[in-house]
Amino acid sequence: MSIRYVPPTPQNLRDFKDRLGYTGDQMAAMFGLAGNNQWRKYTSGNEPRPMSLPMLFLAGALLNRTATVDQVFQWCRGVGAVIDLDMDGDMQP
């Protein structure tokens, strides 16, 4: 199995934060970051960091602890990520 992953854009992440109504510190905690200053490295600046799939997946799993793996992947897509799972040669959107 292989995974093609394109992270959500900084704007996707800012929009997600706005939808939740969370502070930067709350977002940092959800993504396993040290604090708001680390969160901002993913959402602003000249060269923002790309959000890794494990970090994004963790946030999705923490927001819905009863979700299946497929449901968390779908949540990641809803935040703005592109995730294609190649299982036995079949690409899934």
**How far does the chain reach from its first CA to its final CA, in angstroms?**
15
In the chain, % helix, strand, coil (3-state, to 5) comes to: 50, 15, 35
How much is the average pLDDT of 15-19?
95
Full-model pTM: 0.85
Element (H, E) at 24: helix 24-30
Q: Judge contact between 84 and 3, C-beta under 8 A.
A: yes
pLDDT band, residue 79 (cuts 50/70/90): very high
β-bridge partners, 83: 5
In this predicted structure, the answer to whether residue 23 has a pLDDT above a threshold of 60 is yes
Report pLDDT digits (tens) over 27-67: 999 999 999 999 999 999 899 999 999 999 999 999 999 99
Element (H, E) at 6: strand 2-6
